[in-house]
């Protein structure tokens, strides 16, 4: 009898073991990656990582810093808003590893400069009519505080794409925090590596129902109505408020300001049908007797004296500026432009608002060119570090975020310190796959035969512009719909923690600066502070009166 029970028990255990093994798919996946494809030896890791004390100390230090922290509730005299176009969370993770590996470190433990900022949040990027947003509707959200339709800028959701009549109505237009800053007497600036008329910078100053109406030539090209749509973005920047009052404008896009027949000039080729808007900008500043300079290359930029310049227009390329890895010697870097902008704007005693865009992160992702996207992210981080070094935490709020994500993913089980831009995993077809890949885009490789995946083994992943693999073929990789991170440092940076809609960003920035967004329900911080100061004074006088009655002393202040 005991024997029967014993045998049944052993059988039961065996059955459970066998079942458990067959229903656990993880074991199978792990088997494929257990003999991965490796193209380089792993980097040496810090041996201390194996000791528990190392991790306990590291965590304790982080905790201690958080407990010691005193919230900064000063007025943000200056705001610098850094937009990493398409800077998804995956891009940040991969870029920090890349940054470490460029210094021969394993990389995962690295921090990009802005990752040291005191507060982090997540922003929801969808626009009114799309789950996955573009740079136009998102610019309306993070600059004007209002969500809008895909491809529209500085207008409400009443305006459908290309509806010029509706976009013209003042009641359908929304102003940006750059405009609110000007109204508060602050200096303002716009710096980008894209055309200065591109969607993100246009969010600072333009109101259009279609992001591509950058010049009057574009209005013709896209067959929009020439009469009702006669307010292209470049024109708004040069003639309208707040565009014509922006102190510093730097980036690419010269062609949107120059006439078609200007090909003969030193300016380069243009696409306008009306006139030379660079000359118009110079004339306007001359009429105002302002110290204004126009520059078109790094040599000229370096000659600008920021102490003597109130207006600077720098257009360094006909279209977008080049990728850092393909930079022409005459082009300045994002850091050089940021430095000059801050030095000019800092002269205003009321402070400044500066918008800085790392635009090429997005453009590299659209090409599935992961290495260039990571390199542009490092350029962006360097510009932020420069801005931080030129300002003070006491009075300058720096906010770093993205407009939307991208489809790059980081996957497989690569070893610690393994080349982030390399091939590591091996799939069930026994072919290697790259750690970084895209959901769609030009990196789609046709199968050699049905069911046979493209072999990446002989590809040149070390080329600066290598097109990383994509699942779905598209000429242009698409944006991603996931939330993007927000990093903040300086006065009221704690307002940026949590998860919120993207249009909250300029409202929180305005509050920190004590400036008023038009039609805001919330009083700016300054008046809140003033109200409580007034209340305190009133209470002090009441207290003084009671004190003098009870203690028969004339004045409490006298003791
Ligand atoms: C990293 O190591 C490589 C090869 O050992 C060397 O050529 C390179 O100079 C090193 N780079 C740095 C930043 O130390
Ligand atoms: C360029 O050509 C236009 C018309 O063809 C002419 O009016 C203009 O003066 C020329 N500019 C220069 C700098 O030569
Ligand atoms: C910069 O622009 C000026 C004026 O157009 C030109 O004379 C100079 O050669 C340019 N320098 C470079 C490095 O491109
Ligand atoms: C990468 O750049 C090289 C020149 O450096 C060029 O010949 C090649 O076509 C580019 N590849 C892609 C995919 O853009
Ligand atoms: Zn894009």
329 Cα nearest atom in ligand 3 = 13
463 Cα nearest atom in ligand 4 = 1
102 Cα nearest atom in ligand 1 = 13
Indicate which residue's Cα is closest to atom 13 of ligand 1. Answer: 103
User: Would the CB of 72 count as within 6 Å of ligand 4?
Assistant: no
User: Would the CB of 548 count as within 6 Å of ligand 4?
Assistant: no
The set of catalytic residues is 135
Distance 308 CA to ligand 3 centre (A): 21
Indicate which residue's Cα is closest to atom 11 of ligand 2. Answer: 265
User: Would the CB of 467 count as within 6 Å of ligand 4?
Assistant: yes
> By C-alpha distance, which of 313, 171, 166, 291 is closest to 238?
313
User: Would the CB of 32 count as within 6 Å of ligand 3?
Assistant: no
User: Would the CB of 289 count as within 6 Å of ligand 1?
Assistant: no
Distance 462 CA to ligand 4 centre (A): 12
**Strands 248-252 and 187-195: what pairing?**
parallel
pLDDT in 10s for each residue of the chain, 559 residues: 465 565 665 555 545 444 444 443 333 344 456 566 766 666 678 899 999 999 999 999 999 999 999 999 999 999 999 999 999 999 999 999 999 999 989 999 999 999 999 999 999 999 999 999 999 999 999 999 999 999 999 999 999 999 999 999 999 999 999 999 999 999 999 999 999 999 999 999 999 999 999 999 999 999 999 999 999 999 999 999 999 999 999 999 999 999 987 665 555 678 899 999 999 999 999 999 999 999 999 999 999 999 999 999 999 999 999 999 999 999 999 999 999 999 999 999 999 999 999 999 999 999 999 999 999 999 999 999 999 999 999 999 999 999 999 999 999 989 899 999 999 888 888 889 999 999 999 999 877 778 788 999 899 999 999 999 999 999 999 999 999 999 999 999 999 999 999 999 999 999 999 998 866 677 776 544 444 455 555 555 565 555 555 555 445 444 3
Enclosing H/E stretch for 437: strand 436-441
Extents of the domains making up the chain:
76-407+478-523
Distance 435 CA to ligand 5 centre (A): 22
- Residue 292's Cβ-side half-sphere holds a number of Cα atoms within 13 Å equal to 22
| Whole-structure pTM value | 0.88
Q: End-to-end CA distance of the chain: give it in Å, rounded.
A: 99
Distance 393 CA to ligand 4 centre (A): 42
Per CATH, the homologous superfamily of domain 76-407+478-523 is: Alkaline Phosphatase, subunit A (3.40.720.10)
Q: Which residues contact 416 (CB under 8 A, 6 or more apart)?
A: 42, 43, 45, 106, 108
């Amino acid at each position: 009898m005991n024997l029967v029970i014993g045998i049944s028990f052993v059988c039961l255990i065996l059955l459970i073991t066998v079942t458990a093994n067959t229903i656990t798919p993880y074991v199978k996946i792990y088997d494929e990656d257990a003999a991965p494809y490796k193209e380089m030896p792993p980097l040496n890791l810090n041996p201390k990582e194996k000791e528990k004390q190392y991790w306990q100390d590291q965590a304790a230090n982080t905790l201690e810093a958080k407990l010691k922290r005193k919230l900064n509730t000063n007025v943000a005299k200056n705001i610098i808003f850094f937009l990493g176009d398409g800077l998804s969370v995956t891009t940040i993770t991969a870029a920090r590893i890349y940054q470490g590996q460029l210094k021969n470190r394993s990389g995962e433990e690295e921090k990009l400069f802005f990752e040291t900022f005191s507060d982090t949040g997540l922003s929801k990027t969808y626009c009114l009519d799309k789950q996955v947003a573009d740079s136009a509707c998102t610019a309306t959200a993070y600059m004007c505080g209002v969500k809008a339709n895909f491809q529209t800028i500085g207008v409400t959701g009443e305006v459908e794409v290309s509806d010029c009549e509706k976009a013209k109505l003042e009641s359908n237009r929304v102003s940006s925090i750059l405009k609110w800053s000007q109204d508060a007497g602050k200096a303002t600036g716009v710096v980008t590596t894209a055309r200065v008329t591109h969607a993100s910078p246009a969010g600072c100053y333009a109101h259009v129902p279609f992001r591509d109406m950058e010049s009057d030539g574009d209005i013709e090209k896209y067959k929009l109505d020439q009469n009702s749509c006669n307010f292209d973005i470049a024109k708004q920047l040069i003639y309208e408020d707040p565009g014509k009052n922006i102190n510093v404008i730097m980036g690419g896009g010269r062609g949107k300001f120059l006439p078609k027949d200007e090909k003969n000039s030193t300016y380069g080729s243009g696409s306008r049908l009306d006139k030379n808007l660079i000359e118009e900008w110079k004339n306007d500043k001359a009429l105002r007797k302002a110290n204004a300079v126009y520059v078109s290359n790094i040599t000229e930029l370096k000659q600008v004296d920021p102490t003597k310049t109130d207006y600077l227009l720098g257009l360094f390329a006909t279209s977008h500026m080049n990728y850092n890895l393909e930079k022409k010697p005459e082009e300045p870097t994002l850091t050089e432009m940021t430095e000059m902008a801050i030095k000019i704007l800092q002269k205003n005693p009321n402070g400044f608002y500066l918008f800085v865009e790392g635009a090429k992160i997005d453009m590299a992702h659209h090409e599935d060119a992961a290495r260039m996207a990571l390199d542009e992210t490092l350029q962006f981080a360097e510009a932020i570090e420069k801005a931080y070094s030129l300002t003070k935490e006491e009075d300058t709020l720096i906010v770093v975020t993205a407009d939307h994500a991208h489809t790059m993913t980081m996957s497989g089980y690569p070893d610690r310190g393994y080349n982030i831009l390399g091939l590591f995993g091996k799939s069930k077809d026994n072919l290697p796959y790259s750690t970084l890949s895209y959901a769609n885009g030009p990196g789609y490789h046709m199968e050699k035969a049905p069911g046979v995946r493209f072999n990446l083994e002989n590809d040149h992943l070390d080329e600066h512009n290598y097109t990383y693999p994509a699942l779905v073929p598209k000429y242009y990789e698409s944006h991603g719909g996931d939330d993007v991170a927000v990093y903040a440092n300086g006065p009221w940076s704690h307002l940026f923690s949590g998860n919120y809609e993207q249009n909250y960003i300029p409202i929180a920035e305005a509050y920190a600066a004590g400036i008023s967004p038009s039609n805001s329900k919330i009083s700016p911080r300054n008046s809140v502070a003033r109200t409580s100061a007034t209340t305190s004074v009133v209470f002090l006088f009441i207290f003084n009166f009671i004190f003098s009655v009870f203690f028969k002393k004339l004045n409490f202040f006298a003791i």
